[in-house]
Amino acid sequence: MENSKNWGEKMAVHLQPPFINPTVPFSTPIQGGFQDGMIITVCGRVLPDADRFNVNLEHGSDVVLQVNPRYSWLLPISGYVVHNTRQNGKWGWEERKVETPFPRGQMFSLQILITQESYKISTNGELFSEYKHRMPFSKVDRICVVGMVELNVVAFHYRVSHLPALPGSLMVPYKSIIYGGVQPGKCIVIQGVINPQAKRVGFSLRHRTGIAFDYSPRFDENVVVCNCYENGKWGEEERSGQMPFERGQTFLVTICCSPDNYEVFVSGKKTHTFSRRYNNMEEIDVLEVSGDVQLTFVQP
């Protein structure tokens, strides 16, 4: 069992609010420092004319880990990715992957999982690379993102079996106003824990007379259902057997709004796309969360 100090540090990081649409260059301290099992999620878009960008985990002037997608005229679309460490002003040897999950002009999600042995780096929900520690990960106290990239979300959470109800947890059912409505580029972030015996959870974007988008993981059916509710009737369900949630596990849901659809990312992986059926975007101004879930952070 963890001692109270380590548990307190984990709670501090778990509760560190995500950053929504931060400007680049981006830099922020990591509350409580790095711990085994911590996950950093970075979602964004590579600019169409990008030559490179960096995601750095730093300590002072040292770069403990650099994830560095690069592009060249020889590889104009795909490019390649470099991992490295800079210690005492000197770069080490480059570890290169001559492929990239970061195409120019495209959205991406990057996750870095810290383990005792290495950083496990996943992109768009798939393991991409593993980088063995060259410096103690406990030294990392800051994340920086620079270069030709736009950011939607930078978030911090833990992969743990279950978190108890936390002081300050948000009451469920939960409801809040989305000021300005779901205009294009709007990102809604929801962080929490699925209950161990969960049957159903609902994430809904509502307007005055209906529900523009209902996103419903159903553990009793092992499906995710997307739908809308208009004129007193539910529309045609879009059902997916891809279940990105686990009972008793933490989660990070990001709903990104565009003129044509809603894109849903779960813990950094793009999982579902739902085409808009209700187009008065400024009228979609209420977020509701219901069901078998605990909430720890919401950015409507």
Instruction: List the structure tokens of 158.
Output: 């833990």
> 148 and 196, same structural domain?
no
Final residue in a domain of this structure, among 109, 126, 158: 158
> 107 and 18, same structural domain?
yes
Distance CA 198, CA 185 (A): 31
Dihedral of alpha carbons 168, 40, 140, 36, sign: positive
> 203 and 132, same structural domain?
no
Tell me the pLDDT tens digit for each residue of 10-42.
444 445 667 877 999 999 998 777 888 888 888
In a domain, 166, yes or no: no
> 242 and 146, same structural domain?
no
DSSP string, 184-195: TT-EEEEEEEE-
Counting residues of the chain whose pLDDT is more than 70, the rounded percentage is 87
> 148 and 181, same structural domain?
no
Q: For the chain, how many structural domains are there in total?
A: 2
Burial class for 123, CB neighbours closer than 10 Å (0-12, 13-18, 19+): buried
> 12 and 92, same structural domain?
yes
> How confident is the prediction for the chain on average, in pLDDT?
85
Q: Give Cα 219 to chain centroid, integer Å.
A: 22
In a domain, 168, yes or no: no
Which CATH number is 109's domain given?
Answer: 2.60.120.200
Written in H, E and C, the secondary structure of 99-151 is: CCCCCCCCEEEEEEEECCCEEEEEECCEEEEEEECCCCHHHCCEEEEEECEEE
Tell me the pLDDT tens digit for each residue of 36-92.
888 888 888 899 999 999 999 999 999 999 999 999 766 555 689 999 999 999 999
Which residue range(s) make up the domain with 261? 174-299
Distance CA 94, CA 128 (A): 16
pLDDT at 251: 83
> 281 and 197, same structural domain?
yes
Helix, strand or coil for residue 11?
A: helix
Tell me the pLDDT tens digit for each residue of 161-194.
334 444 445 789 999 998 888 987 777 888 788 9
Per the DSSP assignment, residues forming a β-bridge with 150 are: 45
> 148 and 99, same structural domain?
yes
* DSSP secondary structure letter of residue 283: G
Tell me the pLDDT tens digit for each residue of 266-286.
876 788 999 999 989 999 999
Place of tokens 């002009």: 105
> 103 and 243, same structural domain?
no
In a domain, 294, yes or no: yes
> 195 and 142, same structural domain?
no
